[in-house]
Amino acid sequence: MNNIYLREATINDELLVFEWRNIDSLVALSSKQKKVTLQEHQQWFKKKIADLNCKLLIIQLKEKSIGLIRLELEQEECKITIYLIPGYEGQGFGYAALSQAIDNCTLDCKSYLAEVQIKNIPSQKLFQKLGFSKTFENDVFIFYNKNHIST
């Protein structure tokens, strides 16, 4: 996966991420499971790119933007959100991108957390492959955790 790299999102990515955020298949797997308006997205996006405890990373396959990773630090834990746009799943891109994001994270994370829908088998496999442990499960979500390893 040498062709995968990450770049920090900028205000120029606002509309691209908005379009992705409202793709039906991604909405169905999101935690809130609802589409957002442009105004809601703009407020959220501006807040996130200005937040020093949040990293919004665009996943690049060569020159093509194919997804997003969000790392959000809260009380020494980084919550992870990741998605790839349709057509790029199941090819190892998510694994390559999230590995890079964790390995190069500049936030002071003691551990990483992920909340995955029970029906989202590919994300479950991704976090397990990355060494995350299942910590809790309910009727809707599985929660994964991985301690940060200092180098």
% of the chain surpassing 90 pLDDT: 87
Q: Where do the DSSP E strands lie in the chain?
A: 4-8, 54-61, 64-74, 77-84, 111-117, 133-137, 141-147
Dist CA 107 CA 127 (whole Å): 19
Which pTM was predicted?
Answer: 0.93
Q: Looking at residue 2, what is its pLDDT?
A: 65
Q: What confidence tens digit (pLDDT) does each residue in 3-42 have?
A: 999 999 999 999 999 999 999 888 888 777 789 999 999 9
The residue extents of the domains of the chain are 4-110
Cβ atoms 33, 25 nearer than 8 A: no
CATH number for the 4-110 domain, one of 3.40.640.10, 3.40.1010.20, 3.40.630.30, 3.30.300.30? 3.40.630.30
Dist CA 99 CA 69 (whole Å): 11
Q: What confidence tens digit (pLDDT) does each residue in 118-129 have?
A: 999 999 999 999
